[in-house]
Structure 1
């Protein structure tokens, strides 16, 4: 994805989405993406994921020339099959395209981004909100990191009120069904 700054400079964002959970990792921002940079970001991702890295069977990416054989080898060495999308078919990576649209509509189109550090800070906050506080229809109105036994409740604002974040509380049984410790 790319974002244009207030100074008319184009910045590129590298992100990864886990399709099953819809969890997004915004991994890097640069003005000059190269194959070497993207490959290093891939290595960093696998290090950050630790033992979870072996859980992924596929990585889908577009046919950009920055996704080099070295990039693909990072994932192949982890046992992850790399699948480039067919030419001129954005729907084949629809989940990533939808996240880009959402991130733009809810975040980057509403802010004047000044540079790489600013965009990195904004996207880190937005990805945290997206993963922990934003309801997703495909997840029964839960955030990717939510516990399914928790009821989400409104609580706080993110990015100065640009976004609403939701905290969770434990699911409680009706008062007459709650267990109480027995005394001896």
Structure 2
């Protein structure tokens, strides 16, 4: 025997004595799994003839069987830890697939696969199907149901709404405010204020509004004009709008929800300005309305615009080192009724 084989035999015999000492009084020594693993690791590299010369509690065939079982369990654990099949799709591609499915409810997995091919993303159609199915999204093009909110949002670019707002000055004079709002951009125009909204005044105010819309490029986008059935609107304005290719849509009787966008703006105007400011006369009213219109269009955030303003894009998030040295100053409008916060120069 070589020195290595003698060392192995000594280790095996010593461990065997330890097993026997551990089980004194037992009729038959019982080997634990760790004992079998040790014997298999020590004795299998020896030749079969050497194994037969050793004085062991078990036969050489049993030691070899232990070793085979040990190797089987090892390979079984390796197969469990290894993921079967192809590697998992990159997270950015999975997010893109779900984004296309969310933003295009009528697209099936084949249509999404074609769009990805146009973007240069090499992915199988079956993989797109699996990503949608795992995320709980129907891969087939049966997601064609469009909600009213989605429908109105898709049409918002072509809608302009108008309404009258009534307020009373401290002198007791009733003032009528004519206001218009673009649904998509939330841009507001204070068309005018008057104590006597005659048909001639309303007609001229709408003509002035459309001159402003032409200068800003909104006329080319607007196709529908929403208003209520107020008698203050003359029939002539429908002809003015029709000449520009804009159809008038009248709301139902006592149905303010049909013109909900501008009704929500009226609530904002009353809560932020009219209910908190003393309006002495028409001149003061016009000045306050101009200030609020400028604040609403240039600074006030809107949830429908992802916290941006109609005339100001949302700024990029600040980096951490800039946040630590952040200095903010306040600007007051209308004597402190409205506060605006900006970065200090």
Under a length normalisation based on structure 2, what TM-score does the superposition of the two structures give?
0.46
Which of 108, 128, 132 in structure 1 is aligned with 2:294?
A: 128
Structure label with greater radius of gyration: 2
Conserved 8 A contact 2:180-2:190 = yes
Q: Match for residue 336 of structure 2?
A: 161
Residues 11-56 of structure 1: per-residue CA shift (max 9 Å, x gap): 0000100010111101100001012111111100111122422211
Unpaired runs of 5+ residues, structure 2, are 1-164, 319-327
2:233 is equivalent to residue 67 of structure 1: yes
Q: Does 1:76 align with 2:242?
A: yes
Deviates more, 1:130-139 or 1:143-152: 143-152
| Root mean square deviation of aligned Cα | 2.0
Aligned length in residues: 169
Q: Is the 8 A contact 1:3 1:11 kept in 2?
A: yes
Q: Secondary structure at the match of 1:157?
A: strand
Shift of 1:151: 5.9
SS in 2 for 1:55: coil
Match of 1:34 in 2: 198
Higher relative contact order at CA 8 Å, sep ≥6: structure 1 or structure 2?
Answer: 1
Which residue number in structure 1 is paired with residue 273 of structure 2? Answer: 107
Q: Aligned partners of 1:147, 1:140: CA distance in 2, in Å?
A: 10
What do the CA deviations read for 1:53-85 (whole angstroms, capped 9, x no partner)? Answer: 221111100100121210111111111111111
Larger helix proportion of the pair: 2
Report whether the alignment pairs 1:48 with 2:208. no
